[in-house]
Amino acid sequence: MSAKAAPKPGERPVRAPIAAEAFLHALAEHGVDYFFANPGTDFPPVVEAFSRAAQSNAKVPRPIVVPHENLAVAMAHGAYLMNGRAQAVMVHVNVGTANTINNITNLSRDRAPVILAAGRTPVTESGTFGGRSRPIHWAQEMFDQAGMLRELVKWDYELRVPAQINDVVSRACEVAMTSPRGPVYMVLPREPLAAALGEPVAPVRPRPVAPAPYPDPQAIATLAGWIAAAEQPLLITSSLDADAVAALARLADHCAIPVVAQSPRTVCLPSSHPMHFGFEPGALLRAADLVIVVESDVPWIPSLERPADGARVVHIGEDPAFVRYPMRSFPSDLAIKASAASTLSALDAALQARLSATARVDARRALLAERAKARREHIAKAASPGSAGISPAYLSRAISDTVGAEAIIFNEYPLLLDHCPRERPGTFFALSPAGGLGWGLGAALGAKLAEPERLVVATVGDGAYMFTNPTACHWVADAYKLPVLTVIFNNSRYGAVRRATLSMFKDGAAGEADGRFLADLDPSPPFEALVRAQGGHGERVEQAADLPAALARARDAVVNQRRQALLNVICPY
């Protein structure tokens, strides 16, 4: 073989393709838009691959540097919630992986497909390209790096043969996107990632993923019969996609079934829908003779409330038994493993003929209309400014009035949906049932990346905000021009921790101290200064009368000046 001719001046050398290039290209071919990265010494092949792609215009995901791994995962989640495509995150070996675990726990329970990749310390101690070259390369090796998050991901795999890279990426994407979706983990040691792809590599061929299952017709017939016969049916749900919301709106209206959104993570039914009965099952649950649970892991808290003896309970969802939850014992008379949208549509179709305007449905509808009216009057009273500072209800209402119906809100606990109506699916998302704090602002930033023209809002407690790594968040917002509006409900405490203490030890010594031990966050920092330090608009608001104008200024900063904004709202609760 003749030796390769040296490049002429100004000409780029011809370089043998390496596995890292194929890795990035395969991700892009699978629809991955973004590569959220927090790098380390495992990254040189990836850096080389991105640099080559910049020269050759090869198709690769957009690289986004994120200065904390937990934030990178939250951003990937936010982008996925906007466009429905799995996104990629790559972090530094075991230590970077460790920093993702909080939000990987959230994604796991929220069934979000994210491709998490991590380097692995070089395998060889000398004599190979990419082998160990730093002291950390010994201490960072683990016997089982994936072991630390195996319980939280659907699949994990280590790249050993460079030429296998396309197949490994295809497998990762296929598993992540298959119902029920979820995160996957790929370990990429430095040597195979840096290796030249000598032998021909199979082309990237993304495999279509099977849709979530359709319901069993027999089960639909049974449940339709139960709905037709029920005196007081109730439907409880926590998380629905847009198609399922549309189907539920039809079914609930047609059959006069009240709907309760229990710890909702999405818009489950437009707030103004006549069958929307809020967020607490309460009296409706106790009175129900049929309870239909749709995509809800904890439809009620058994130690506090439960359906009446003899009430039928039905569970519907892609994984109605929540098989990865170690313990869960809600009663069940029927389980339907299928997508919520297809099941609710099938039920509506089955009931069209049976339930058109029966006397029973008409009577129930009239009774529910009365209840709904009383509920709405009660809600309207609770959102008045009052004299004891800014209440969460008043703040929620003011946010609703300012941001409008099209804004996309990411809520890490404090926003009260009774006071912040959401009509359209896709305009509200809340923290995973796993409750790992430090998600909301990052998810909002990822959403803004995917939907740059939409107003994106993060509503967080002061505790949750500190968990997000504010400096990292505001840096990303500034560096990538992602102006989001953050509203902090600042009560200078971990209110949830205090409430938990008082619920158990109100009459104990902890109660004498008002449950404040280990829950106090005084002195509260000037959070508004943090966003200002990174070019944003920041204000502290203490008086109810000042709130509407402050919110309007913050919105203006985000929408018209395209600057990130933060309101630190002092909100005692």
Ligand X SMILES: Cc1ncc(C[n+]2csc(CCOP(=O)(O)OP(=O)(O)O)c2C)c(N)n1
* Binding-site ranges for ligand X (CB under 6 A): 102, 413-414, 435-438, 461-464, 467, 491, 493-497
**Residues in the chain, total:** 573
Question: Could you check whether the bond before residue 523 is cis, i.e. omega within 30 degrees of 0?
Answer: yes
For the bound state, the minimum distance from the C-beta of residue 496 to ligand X, rounded and expressed in Å, comes to: 3
Judged by beta carbon, residue 186 or residue 415, the one nearer ligand X is 415
Nearest-CA neighbor of 90 among 21, 156, 186? 186
Q: How many CA atoms lie within 13 A of 260 on its CB side?
A: 22
For the bound state, the minimum distance from the C-beta of residue 561 to ligand X, rounded and expressed in Å, comes to: 28
For the bound state, the minimum distance from the C-beta of residue 274 to ligand X, rounded and expressed in Å, comes to: 31
Q: What is the identity of the amino acid at 154?
A: K
For the bound state, the minimum distance from the C-beta of residue 492 to ligand X, rounded and expressed in Å, comes to: 8
d(CA 405, CA 455): 10
289 close to 233: Cβ distance less than 8 angstroms? yes
E strand or H helix at 524, and its extent? none
For the bound state, the minimum distance from the C-beta of residue 437 to ligand X, rounded and expressed in Å, comes to: 4
E strand or H helix at 316, and its extent? strand 312-317
For the bound state, the minimum distance from the C-beta of residue 464 to ligand X, rounded and expressed in Å, comes to: 4
d(CA 268, CA 291): 16
Q: Is 189 helix (H, G, I), strand (E, B) or coil?
A: strand
Judged by beta carbon, residue 124 or residue 492, the one nearer ligand X is 492
Judged by beta carbon, residue 348 or residue 462, the one nearer ligand X is 462
For the bound state, the minimum distance from the C-beta of residue 298 to ligand X, rounded and expressed in Å, comes to: 15
Judged by beta carbon, residue 23 or residue 467, the one nearer ligand X is 467
Helices (H) and strands (E) in the chain, counts: 20, 17
Q: Which residues contact 9 (CB under 8 A, 6 or more apart)?
A: none
- In b/e form, how buried is each residue of 464-480, taking b as 16+ CB within 10 angstroms? bbbbbbbebbbbbbbeb
For the bound state, the minimum distance from the C-beta of residue 530 to ligand X, rounded and expressed in Å, comes to: 16
Q: What is the identity of the amino acid at 302?
A: P
232 close to 364: Cβ distance less than 8 angstroms? yes
E strand or H helix at 197, and its extent? none
d(CA 368, CA 376): 12
Token pair recorded at residue 207: 């495999």
Judged by beta carbon, residue 378 or residue 499, the one nearer ligand X is 499
d(CA 435, CA 263): 11
E strand or H helix at 237, and its extent? strand 233-237
Residue nearest to ligand X (CB): 461
Judged by beta carbon, residue 102 or residue 345, the one nearer ligand X is 102
Judged by beta carbon, residue 94 or residue 501, the one nearer ligand X is 501
Judged by beta carbon, residue 396 or residue 491, the one nearer ligand X is 491
For the bound state, the minimum distance from the C-beta of residue 212 to ligand X, rounded and expressed in Å, comes to: 29
For the bound state, the minimum distance from the C-beta of residue 412 to ligand X, rounded and expressed in Å, comes to: 7
Judged by beta carbon, residue 240 or residue 395, the one nearer ligand X is 395
Judged by beta carbon, residue 217 or residue 526, the one nearer ligand X is 526
- For every residue of 82-102, DSSP letters joined together read HH---EEEEE-HHHHHHHHHH
180 close to 319: Cβ distance less than 8 angstroms? yes
